[in-house]
Amino acid sequence: MAKLLYFGRLTDVFGANAETLALPAEVNDTSALRQWLDDDRQLGGTLMTKSIRIAVNDDIVPEPWPIADSDEIAFLPPVGGG
């Protein structure tokens, strides 16, 4: 099972901070994951924008990046604190 984390405005889009799910066999990199999840939740392309970065197991990755069903995968909209 993969753990997906949703930050910032994606928390509202998904209605949750996180979920655990089994990835379909063909979803084996971050590009495929963006496409599959966006379609599955009918987000109309929200996850396809480059301004949302992806971290795999706590590291932001260049994409596409391979993913496995045991990974923690975080979707990160533009950051900023202070």
Partner 1 sequence: MITLTDQPFDPAEALCDFEKRAIGAGAIVSFTGLVRGTSKLGTVKTLHLQAYSPMTERGMAKAAADANARWPLDALLIIHRTGDLEPGEPVVYVATASTHRRAAFEAADFLMDYLKTEAVFWKKETTDSGAHWVEPRPEDYEDRDRWSKTGT
Site for partner 1, rule CB under 8 A: 5, 7-9, 11-12, 55, 58-60, 74, 76-82
Q: Shortest Cβ distance from residue 4 to partner 1 (Å)?
A: 13
Q: Shortest Cβ distance from residue 8 to partner 1 (Å)?
A: 3
Classify 16 as helix, strand or coil: coil
Going by C-alpha positions, the residue among 12, 3, 13, 23 that lies closest to residue 48 is 13
Q: Which is nearer to partner 1, 25 or 79 (CB)?
A: 79
Instruction: Give the Cα separation of 38 and 32 in Å (integer).
Output: 10
Q: DSSP string covering 30-70, please?
A: HHHHHHHHHHHTT-TTGGG-TTSEEEETTEE--SS-B--TT
Q: Shortest Cβ distance from residue 26 to partner 1 (Å)?
A: 28
Q: Which is nearer to partner 1, 26 or 58 (CB)?
A: 58
Q: Which is nearer to partner 1, 28 or 63 (CB)?
A: 63
